Every structure is written in structure tokens, then in C-alpha cells.
Chain A
Amino acid sequence: MNTQWSKWICRLLRFGFGGLLIFASLSKIPHPYEFAAIIENYRVLGTGLSRWIAVWSPYLEFCIGFLLIIGIWLDAVSVLNAGLMSVFLVLVIQAYIRHLDIQCGCFSMESTGVIGVIKILENVGYLAGSFLLVYFVFRKELLSKT
């Protein structure tokens, strides 16, 4: 792929994920107790840890989103972004396997409905995009070093 194309795809991914994460975090920040309840509904963490995650993750999402858009510390934020997407995917898959009738809460507090194959495919898409971003960021770093 020529450099010009990869540069634009990288930018598109950065702005796409950046906007998505900021949007997601803004809906979670004002409602930490509700978000903690959503996390707890996945039945992976107890009430205590769910509260800690509810306090932490929206700000982490916001920070990752913001740094992706302004382009600072791209290596770290792209890896963290891929990590977040992996966690979302694992949570969604385990909820699907366990037939948990819960709201996703990945990117919005208002999403409803049972987690299904479409939600899993959506998360697979996000994960693929996030790994592509990691690839572009590190490729760019390698090229700039050589």
C-alpha cells in the first residue's frame, strides 16, 4: 500500500476511534452508578470492582480518544485502544455464550436489546480496525527510524 494511502487510512482510523471513544465516554461520565450496574450485569466482576472500573474507564476512553485525535503518544494510545476493543469483544462474547439478557453499554448507556451475533460482529470490526491502527502507527515509527 502506498504511503499516501496508508497515511489517510491511519488518519481516518484515528479520528473514527477518537470520536467514538469521546462520544462513548461522555455518555458514561455523568452516570457512574448506572454504568457500574451495566458492568456488573456482565457477571464478570463484583460490585466493588465494577465501581472502580466505572470510575476509571470513561476517563481512560476520553483520554485515548482525545490523544488519538490530536496525535500525541500514538503508540501508547493505539495499543490501549486495541486493548479496550479486545476487552469489549471478550465481554460481549461471554455474555452471548452465557445468554445474558443485558444491555451492551459499550458505546452508549442507552443501547438496549439482547447481545447477539450482530453486536459481536460489530465488535470484531472495531477490534480489526484498532489492530490496523496499531499496525499503521508502528509501521510509521519504524519507517521514520530507518
Chain B
Amino acid sequence: MRLFFRITILGFSTLCVGILVNQWINHGIRWNVLMYSLPRFSRLQEFNYISADSAHTLFIQGKGLFIDIRYPDDFSLDHIPGARSAPLLKIIQQPELFREVDFDSMMICYGFEPEDIKAKQAADLLRRNGFSQILVLQGGFAEWIEMGYPVERADNQ
């Protein structure tokens, strides 16, 4: 009984300390992100993926804002024309990053890898910031290149 009590106290108090410290440290996981991460609040599983083909159609129609979540160095080498560079850390640090963008605008997040985990996290954060139409490029930038779709490269700029 005493052992159980002590384990419970240790478990609960460290969880509380963890939550509190994360509100304070740089790049900590904030309370609202944690609450959003609870299964009943989470919508990460509901993210809509978009294929490179469909994304290309949107690109031709000029619909949707492409968000490149890779590092700025990678972005400067090549990216989808018109895409905005927004590494995950930048979205976390600057929630006001897309303040000029309408909350109902379509946003397509992509990383390099297919079903890029950082692209999903970025999409998660953007949704938390109020954007309602977030898509994740399923095959990532890798598939976009593979399909031969337009790419803006450093030497083109």
C-alpha cells in the first residue's frame, strides 16, 4: 500500500512539474498543445492527405498555399514555386506567421519524405492556430519531384 502510494505520488508530481516547466522553457510543449494532443481533442488522425497529382491540379489552378516545412537551406535549394518556407520550429515560435492568410484558406504542408512526420506536426500546429483547411502532401516533395512537376531551384532564381 505504501509502495503504491509513493509510486502514485512520484508519477503525478513529476507529470505536474513536467507540464509546468514546459510552459516556461523555450520551445516547451505548451498546455494548449497538450490539451489538443489528448485523443478526444486530437484531429491529427483526421488529417486529409493530398496526392501529388491533386496538389498539382490545385497548383495549376492557383489554389492553396504550399507550406514547405524543411530547413531554410533545403528550401533555398529547391521548392514548389510559390511555396512559403515555414520550418516546424518557426511555426511553434511564431504563431502569427500566417496572420495575413485567411483562416479558411487551403494550406498544403509538405516535407521531403512521404507522409513526413514534421509536415503532419506543422499541419497540427496550424490547425491549432485556427486554420481549417490543412492538407498534407502524402508523397512529400520527393514524389512531387519524381512526377516531374515544377520546381523552383536556386539557379532559376
Contact yes or no, B34 A51, CB < 8 A: yes
- Which of B18, B21, B118: most chain A CB closer than 10 A? B18
The residue in A47, A55, A63, A76 that gathers the most chain B C-beta atoms within 10 A of its C-beta is A55
CB distance A75 to B6 under 8 Å? yes
- Knowing A58-B18, A73-B6, the reply to whether A33 touches B29 (Cβ < 8 A) is yes
Within 8 A of A (CB), among B1-52: 2-3, 6-7, 10-11, 13-15, 17-19, 21-22, 25-29, 33-34, 36-39, 41-42, 44-45
The answer on a CB contact under 8 Å between B6 and A76 is yes
Q: Is A37 an interface residue (CB 8 A)?
A: yes
**A-side interface mostly:** helix
Chain A residue numbers with a CB within 8 Å of B68 are none
Q: In the complex, which residue of chain B has the Cβ closest to the Cβ of A32? A: B29
| Cβ of B133 under 8 Å from chain A | no
* Contact assessment for A51 and B33 in the assembled complex, using a CB-CB cutoff below 8 Å: yes
Taking Cβ atoms with an 8 Å cutoff, the residues of B that contact A are 2-3, 6-7, 10-11, 13-15, 17-19, 21-22, 25-29, 33-34, 36-39, 41-42, 44-45, 88, 92, 117-118, 120-121, 124
Please list the residues of chain A having a beta carbon within 8 angstroms of any beta carbon in chain B: 29-33, 36-37, 40-41, 46-49, 51-52, 54-56, 58-60, 62-64, 67, 73, 75-77, 79-80
